[in-house]
Amino acid sequence: PVVASAASVVAARAAPQRGVGAAAAIPAGGRVAVARRLSWRPFAPLAARHQQRTSSGCRCSSTDPPKWNPQNVPDSEIRPSPALSAAEVVILQLKALENVHSPRLNHGIQVMYEFCHGAGSMERSRYFGYSKDLYHFDHFLGGFQNEFGDMLDHTGFELGAEVMQSELGEQMVDVVVSNAKAGKIFEKRYTFCLVRRSFGTKKGCLMTSRIIKHEVE
């Protein structure tokens, strides 16, 4: 590193200033002579600097329309209630998926998230059959579209005659969902596994802990 002696620094400070932008030479003394050009310009006001950035074509311009955020939507029109039976809980969810984008984009999947036991939790969920973080709706949205896409905009469904009990204490409801794609009609069978919420604003409500997708028989 370049080092100036104490004497040379004192001499530089005592030298008369020649104005902004002039060269201030530090007299040779000690081990090294240091010369440095002094310059100064005022900081532009914050608003002016912002204008300079945004007017140059920057994508962060304040005039750009906001991007759609799946978090920034109203609550779903259909919500859990302690008064709902296991069959009613499944029916409400499947009815919401009949027209998945009514009354707004992805509303049907938002209803599924409202009934998801692991929604908003920091603990990982096995809703889709594998461990996944469902803390945010957009995490759930992509998973549901990938794993249960055949439920979206379905043409009908039929519930099993009985509500079963799993070894984990879940109430299990079998359902056969009908749909059509590319002119081909098909059916898929799923099992909704429900548990009763024991805390929070949805305490006492039956919630979907996981959905089992069965292979085509």
Q: How confident is the model at residue 61 (pLDDT cuts 50, 70, 90)?
A: very low
The 3-class secondary structure across the chain, one letter per residue, is CCCCCHHHHHHHHHCCCCCCCCEEECCCECCECCEEECCCCCCCCHHHHHHHHHCCCCCCCCCCCCCCCCCCCCCCCCCCCCCCCHHHHHHHHHHHHHCCCCCCCCHHHHHHHHCECCCCCCCCECCCCCCECCCCHHHHHHHHHHHCHHHCCCCEEEEEEEEEECCCCCEEEEEEEEEEECCEEEEEEEEEEEEECCCCCCCCCEEEEEEEECCCC
Contact in structure between 129 and 193 (CB atoms under 8 Å)? no
Query: What's 65's DSSP letter?
Result: P
Q: What value does the mean pLDDT take over residues 53-62? A: 48
Other C-beta atoms closer than 10 Å to the C-beta of 163 total 16
71-75, 108-112, 160-164: range with lowest mean pLDDT: 71-75
pLDDT tens digits, one per residue of 162-205: 999 999 999 999 999 999 998 899 999 999 999 999 999 999 99
Q: How confident is the model at residue 122 (pLDDT cuts 50, 70, 90)?
A: confident
65-79, 94-108, 152-166: range with lowest mean pLDDT: 65-79
Contacts of 21 (CB under 8 A, 6+ apart): 37, 38, 39, 40
Per-residue pLDDT, 129: 94
14-18, 137-141, 167-171, 177-181: range with lowest mean pLDDT: 14-18
Per-residue pLDDT, 55: 46
9-13, 119-123, 193-197: range with lowest mean pLDDT: 9-13
Q: How confident is the model at residue 41 (pLDDT cuts 50, 70, 90)?
A: low
Q: What percent of the chain has pLDDT over 90?
A: 60
